[in-house]
Structure 1
């Protein structure tokens, strides 16, 4: 069995980790997998039993998405970076992968070049195939031409394959990166990566999903941002309790600051139609059962909406001038699948009215390629099938 090393760095939310782990889940039948997690560890996050996980000393970003900082507040960034680079190279030496998959880089995460360039240099010396794993939309920069030139240089220097986890009928990569034709490596769309339902539910999830009332589920991903949406729904709960029979289930996110979480809990403690938890690994199960999802507009949440058919009100993240989520929601709203929220919509009265209106709407049924996990495994495997055939011909 070939060996695959998968590098993932999440710094603000948890979307990159969720998507990467779902891809890895689909690779375990064909590869022995070592998963490198460079972000904060999430307690209770499901990992396939066959996957070896290496947790590097964690790095995250501040809420303004401006500065990197160690997850451990007692360490300085320079020490952590040095330790991470050494650990990565040591893992490469010990695991000896046949293929290295790097999530997002070089389209993003270039601040992690301090460890990724040495890792890829060492991998290339050993004949390791290198793959870039990329979501459907990438962040644009003020100096886009310079940004794209650097991407092309790095892609053409190090990578054998680019896998775009999207459907060009919804979002072609050219929408956010104009120089796809200048890449020398293989370029493939895999379709979207979607989560599969977990076979086991926690006791907390079983109790919540056994409620008799219809449900509205509220989520903001990791929880480092999206607090205005959480507060809007908590404050709208009293208004909604007199108008709809639904129970509102809120997930504030595993990274939500403690003070924000407990303030939300206190604010909502008198509302019988409201429950607030930090995190569930089974958000998909809630969306399958809910009448409405009110959420931030990250990649994985969007995929959950498309696969479950749930109605959705979606608030895009716009921090750091990031347009990724806005582009995704706007396109789905044009197709009649979801409704977009703006920051002006998250006042309690306005949000409550949007919720009521959304419950009366029937979303359009639209079809996109959702076979991203299966096609990713097939395409990575094809790298070796080509070389195996060439070896047979040469022999």
Structure 2
């Protein structure tokens, strides 16, 4: 048995940055709490190299997939069919598991992988490495209950939860959204579920005063607008720019973070639309938390990671959820608004006058007091640590034993 634990992380990353950012946050906490752990992250993200890696973590870049507006997958860059790309990814994942010999596999969200690409690896580990713990990480909300149940049944997820995975880490709080009840999880699956809480995401590298000095805004209120990876969120950016175009002088500075996945052509067009001194554009920063910490108000979509950052920083926020393909963000924004922790505008409500009124109203509110469980990262690493095999005892030093003489037998 290996002395230092080996942890394999799978993050399919077909759209946006959410899965990658969550996996890196967990990997960083593992590196801190489980010294000596070796980690290998499998990811399809095109921007994985833009993030600093915690010590002990390496990455395998899978051929990139993307999800179209109709929810179907396709190769993102390479001139390959979906089947060819999935076959390639499937083999890379399996070979990584065979050669890395993990003590634990942590899968983010997709229990079977993209269109079942993880199944050969799960079969291999179950048959040939039964000591490897198989763990599924599950965000607070997957999709609307009926849609999730339908998708899980189509992909064989209930059987995987009951018969294959050893544990399910739930990155949420059941008093806010009860995934067990809403998604009809069996008693067997529910018995494996560990309610971790939300992931506290408040690590920053710079003080608010330094950020404000960089932006040249002094004590002026700062509104940070972010759309995650930038693959979507066009309604939010367009609505915000329309508001700016109808308001010559606003009592706050706007920082728009468009995301690394937005095309250069679209970003250039947006910057031309808002070429004014009270607006700053930024393509991407791995240190978004520092800017959010300096903000008086955050306007964003309702993705899991950004929402966790807002809650961790206890910031005033307006969430504009994605409402197409999946209802995950809409449900999350609605539940948090009901708790009084954030405000919500749907994409069709982004008329300039309404958006400006909502911003002014939000800036006048006190910062929220968040009483949710945000200790998810610590709970995750404690659970992983308890699931790992005990370190193998160190080998005894070689001792030169004298030759044994036969013992005489007396009649």
Which TM-score applies when normalising by structure 2? 0.85
Find the partner of 2:124 among 88, 105, 122. 122
Give the CA deviation at 1:122. 1.2
Find the partner of 2:307 among 299, 302, 316. 302
Q: Is the 8 A contact 2:136 2:169 kept in 1?
A: yes
Which runs of structure 1 show a deviation greater than 4 angstroms over 4 or more consecutive aligned residues?
Answer: 141-149, 204-207, 238-241, 385-388
RMSD of the alignment, in Å? 2.4
Find the partner of 1:370 among 370, 374, 379. 374
CA pair 70-334 structure 1, distance change in 2 beyond 3 A: same
Give the CA deviation at 1:148. 4.7
CA pair 13-6 structure 1, distance change in 2 beyond 3 A: same
Give the CA deviation at 1:277. 1.5
The C-alpha deviation readout for 1:64-106, integer Å capped at 9, x for no partner, is 1422122224333232222212211221122111111111122
Counterpart CA distance in 2 for 1:268 and 1:164 is 41
Give the CA deviation at 1:375. 0.8
Counterpart CA distance in 2 for 1:387 and 1:331 is 43
Find the partner of 2:239 among 228, 232, 242. 232
Tell me the equivalent position of 2:398.
Answer: none
The C-alpha deviation readout for 1:349-376, integer Å capped at 9, x for no partner, is 3212221121112244131111111110
Q: Alignment partner of 1:28: what SS?
A: helix
Q: Is the 8 A contact 1:3 1:32 kept in 2?
A: yes
Find the partner of 1:193 among 175, 194, 199. 199
Structure-to-structure mapping, 1:73-88, within 5 angstroms: 73-88=78-93
Find the partner of 1:151 among 139, 157, 161. 157
Does 1:3 find its partner at 2:10? Answer: no
Counterpart CA distance in 1 for 2:321 and 2:190 is 33
Give the CA deviation at 1:257. 2.2
Give the CA deviation at 1:310. 1.3
Counterpart CA distance in 2 for 1:4 and 1:142 is 33
Which TM-score applies when normalising by structure 1? 0.89
Does 1:50 find its partner at 2:56? Answer: yes
Q: Give the number of equivalent residue pairs.
A: 379
Counterpart CA distance in 1 for 2:147 and 2:299 is 34
Give the CA deviation at 1:210. 5.6
Tell me the equivalent position of 2:230.
Answer: 223
CA pair 182-56 structure 1, distance change in 2 beyond 3 A: same
Find the partner of 1:250 among 235, 252, 256. 256
Counterpart CA distance in 2 for 1:228 and 1:75 is 31
Counterpart CA distance in 2 for 1:221 and 1:318 is 15
CA pair 181-147 structure 1, distance change in 2 beyond 3 A: farther
Find the partner of 1:160 among 154, 157, 166. 166
Give the CA deviation at 1:378. 0.7
CA pair 145-307 structure 1, distance change in 2 beyond 3 A: closer
Counterpart CA distance in 1 for 2:308 and 2:382 is 21
Counterpart CA distance in 2 for 1:184 and 1:288 is 36
Counterpart CA distance in 2 for 1:299 and 1:143 is 18
Q: Is the 8 A contact 2:145 2:183 kept in 1?
A: no
Tell me the equivalent position of 2:185.
Answer: 179
Counterpart CA distance in 1 for 2:181 and 2:270 is 38
Counterpart CA distance in 1 for 2:191 and 2:85 is 32
Q: Alignment partner of 1:369: what SS?
A: coil
Counterpart CA distance in 1 for 2:250 and 2:166 is 57
Counterpart CA distance in 1 for 2:386 and 2:5 is 12
Structure-to-structure mapping, 1:1-395, within 5 angstroms: 1-29=4-32, 30=34, 31-42=37-48, 44-62=50-68, 64-106=69-111, 111-113=114-116, 115-124=117-126, 125-127=128-130, 128-140=132-144, 146-149=150-153, 150-174=156-180, 176-183=182-189, 186-199=192-205, 208=214, 211-212=217-218, 213-244=220-251, 246-269=252-275, 271-320=276-325, 322-384=326-388
Give the CA deviation at 1:52. 0.8
Give the CA deviation at 1:238. 4.5
